[in-house]
Structure 1
Amino acid sequence: PQKHTLEWAKRENQLKNPDLWLLSKLQQVIEAYTAKLETCEFNFALAVLEDYVIETLSRLYVPMVRKELWTDDPETLNRRLAIYATLWHVVKAVTLLFNPVTPYLSEALYQKVYRKLNPTLPESVNFESWPEPAEKLRNTTLEEKFEVLFKCVSLVYSARQSAKLKRRWPLSRIVVVASEKVCNALRNVEELFLELANVKTAEYTQEVPESASQKEWTSVSEDSVQLLLDVHRDEKLLGEGLMRDLARRVQSLRKELGYVPTDILEAARIAELDNESIAQLKPYLKDMEELVRVKKVYLHSKREEFETEWHEYRLDDRKVYIAIS
């Protein structure tokens, strides 16, 4: 943390839109929280801070950067360090903001995390300066684009729910029918939009295309924004969706057995799969190995093919058996 600071990340041009958005929102929170404390509106002040920690940081930011943090690729090390630098800066500021209302917890975090990793910091959280909003980190234009992004992603989730399509299942394309302003906002954060919506491609238009009347589409609209989701899934999309379903169950088993999330295990084995499922999964085994952090994934038609401790899981209307080692 002393070397790879937020300033370092800026100099190296490693900060991406999610980081800049999180930092911008932090400046807004510091200003609003401080103002509420000064007028003794403690409940409202804490509501501002709670919303930032739970919604902005945990539920919105972390999913946007989780995939980048999960990889061990040495070529993206600086990007991972930039995310850690962002989190260090943000969580430290939040710790200082919480100090007046949770002094013991704030001091414990400060000593066990911040002082431990950076002994040059002041001896106590109480010796730190109160956070001040940094105008150079505020970006209201980016915040507006992210508001559009989250609104459209929420609509995608609604469309998926109505079509009974899990969020983990990738889809081929989405058509956004909206004003030029909304379309441009999404174009500027398209990589994130596709990632969060779990869609391969996006098209933007001001008029509903003629093909939207076909059965392969599901539609949802709100406030002059209409989204059309192509619900047809070919063999590749079915295979990737199945891989993600199984990966989730392998991750669940890792947790049940008490493995450290970052540990790379020797193997994961999945049994009682039919031939069609095995054929669909084979192109995605490398992706699955990275997702569940194992060196090798093995597929078995029958449990009897390999002697081990199998764990039973439901996969929609069938049973599968998983083992890890």
Structure 2
Amino acid sequence: MPPTTYEVYKELEREERFAPQAGSSQESSYNTWRERAIGRNLRRGIALIIGCWLIYFLYLNRLYAASITQRFSNNKNGVSDYDATADAAVSGQTTRVALEAHIMSKCPDAQDCLQKLVVPAMERISDKVDFELSFIGSVSEKTSDVECKHGPTECIGNILMLCAANLPFHSANSVVSSTPRTPVIRSLGFANCLISDYEQIPSRSLVESCSLEHGIDFESLNQCASHEDDNLDDPQDPITDDPSGISLLRQSVKHSEDVGVKTSCTVRVDEKVWCIRDGGEWKDCYNGSGVTTLVEEVERLWEQRN
């Protein structure tokens, strides 16, 4: 325990009592003695201040670590209100409207499309649609290799978004025991997070940050993206339990080719082209590019079927 002010004062008083008096032949010794006493207590005071700052820093560090751990736990294991709503809708056997966005992960038009139309609309109609994020590219007929317009890094970005959407998801609090895939509100949020900084795809720091923010397990995501199993057409392949990123990408690109979509971003409603974002402009839109118009169309179709 550091000395109290009283103890320091008494020690100085004792040293003065036994120190030589001023003017004596030992005056220099007295000054040295006094300087040593003052220096010793000054060092004690500095050490006490440093110790207090160190304890305070360690305390703040523990609080920060605890908050990060709690945030990750909530994102990874917690179930959002949307998750419960989606499970309830599944158990009620409602007929949803197909809503699909065909994009390229490193395309500025895809960024605009998600942020200005798809995500705002999904915030209002997520419980009424079967949403799918599909990707545009080309598949070699000879080798079955997938090529992406903006290069291999775009293919990786596409794979990461597909893996996030297709990872197995289990929730202890959901109405049904589990959902086969990540809830759309999470996977779409992850995709939007990546594409908001698409120039940095596939930077590890960006992927980890977006994974943490939207409750996607990074290790599972990385395993899916680096999975070499490519037997997606094999009915025995356990794709839902152990998804392969390259297989998911090939399937998605073939799907876009099959439905005749070649432009990023193309939004389809009920399997029909609703609107296209190309060259920084909206084109060939069925009834305008507004969020409200899209929401109203989905709600109209949903009411017809339910």
Q: Which has the higher contact order (CA 8 A, sep 6+)?
A: 2
TM-score range, shorter chain: under 0.3
Q: Of Structure 1 and Structure 2, which has the larger fraction of its residues in strand?
A: 1
> TM-score, normalized by length of structure 2?
0.27
> TM-score, normalized by length of structure 1?
0.25
Larger Rg: 2
